[in-house]
């Protein structure tokens, strides 16, 4: 059984980030509002994705003899680590704000806490927007890398499928060929 191509592996990681982006809570939606347990679970899932990205980088960066193609793939995975970390940090902010609300809910009407509680929804909304942007950046980087890595292979396969003999025997291909048939000669041939 062969292992998946680097482009396929990059795309799979990109789709995983797309899926995480689709699962983000939405502050204004009562059915998808931020909930501490869900946010913590999503942080755990993103942390696993970061670990997977790190493993991909490490497995391709073994020694100094890494092939140029493998180095490009490792660089693509490494480039997605930063926005993935930013998404985790943003969700950490959401988790922190939700924990604070839970911890201080009974005292929310005290003057010191009232102002803080009034600002928390805006902080959460900003953090969710930051997480969304970061996840989109990670997915976009991985999708782009997969496309650029896959394109030369596709072009090469297409070229070889069109002219396998000419590529293999390019030194034997004549530079001049027979003169093209004139329309009159072609008509005469068809009339017979």
**∠ at Cα 141 (139, 147), nearest 5°?**
100
- Average pLDDT for residues 57-86, to the nearest whole number? 83
- Percentage of the residues of the chain whose pLDDT score is greater than 70: 74
pLDDT value for 174? 46
161 pLDDT more than 80: no
pLDDT value for 155? 62
User: Model confidence at 82, in pLDDT bands (50, 70, 90)?
Assistant: very high
Does residue 162 fall inside a structural domain?
Answer: no
Does residue 54 fall inside a structural domain?
Answer: yes
Does residue 110 fall inside a structural domain?
Answer: yes
Does residue 164 fall inside a structural domain?
Answer: no
149/10 Cα distance (integer angstroms):
9
H and E: helices and strands count for the chain: 6, 0
Does residue 169 fall inside a structural domain?
Answer: no
The number of folded domains in the chain is 1
For residues 179 and 144, the model is more confident at: 144
- Average pLDDT for residues 5-16, to the nearest whole number? 93
pLDDT in tens, 98-149: 999 999 988 888 888 888 888 999 999 999 999 999 999 999 999 999 998 8
Does residue 59 fall inside a structural domain?
Answer: yes
126/100 Cα distance (integer angstroms):
17
Range scoring the smallest mean pLDDT among 8-12, 45-49, 112-116, 158-162: 158-162
pLDDT value for 175? 47
Burial class (CB in 10 A: 0-12, 13-18, 19+), 49: buried
- Average pLDDT for residues 82-109, to the nearest whole number? 94
Does residue 67 fall inside a structural domain?
Answer: yes
Range of the domain at 93: 6-148
Highest mean pLDDT among 29-33, 56-60, 62-66: 56-60
Nearest to 92 by CA among 80, 84, 78, 30: 84
- The DSSP secondary-structure symbol of 31 reads T
Q: What is the mean pLDDT of the chain?
A: 82
For residues 152 and 95, the model is more confident at: 95
DSSP string, 121-140: HHHHHHHHHHHHHHHHHHHH
Does residue 183 fall inside a structural domain?
Answer: no
| Inter-residue contact 11 to 144 (CB < 8 Å) | no
pLDDT value for 171? 46
Written as six digits, the tokens of 116 are 């803080």
């Amino acid at each position: 059984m062969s292992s998946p191509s680097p482009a396929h592996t990059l795309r799979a990681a990109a789709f995983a980030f797309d899926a995480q982006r689709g699962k983000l809570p939405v502050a204004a939606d009562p059915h998808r509002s931020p909930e501490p347990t869900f946010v913590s679970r999503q942080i755990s899932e993103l942390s696993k994705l970061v670990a997977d990205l790190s493993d991909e980088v490490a497995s391709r960066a073994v020694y100094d003899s890494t092939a140029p193609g493998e180095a490009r793939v490792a660089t693509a995975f490494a480039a997605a680590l930063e926005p993935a970390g930013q998404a985790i940090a943003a969700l950490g902010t959401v988790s922190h704000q939700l924990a604070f609300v839970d911890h201080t809910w009974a005292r929310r009407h005290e003057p010191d806490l009232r102002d803080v509680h009034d600002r928390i929804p805006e902080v959460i909304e900003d953090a969710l927007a930051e997480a969304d942007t970061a996840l989109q950046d990670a997915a976009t980087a991985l999708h782009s890398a997969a496309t650029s890595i896959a394109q030369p292979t596709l072009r090469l396969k297409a070229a070889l499928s069109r002219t396998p003999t000419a590529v293999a025997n390019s030194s034997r291909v004549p530079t001049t060929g027979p003169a093209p048939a004139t329309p009159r000669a072609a008509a005469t041939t068809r009339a017979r």
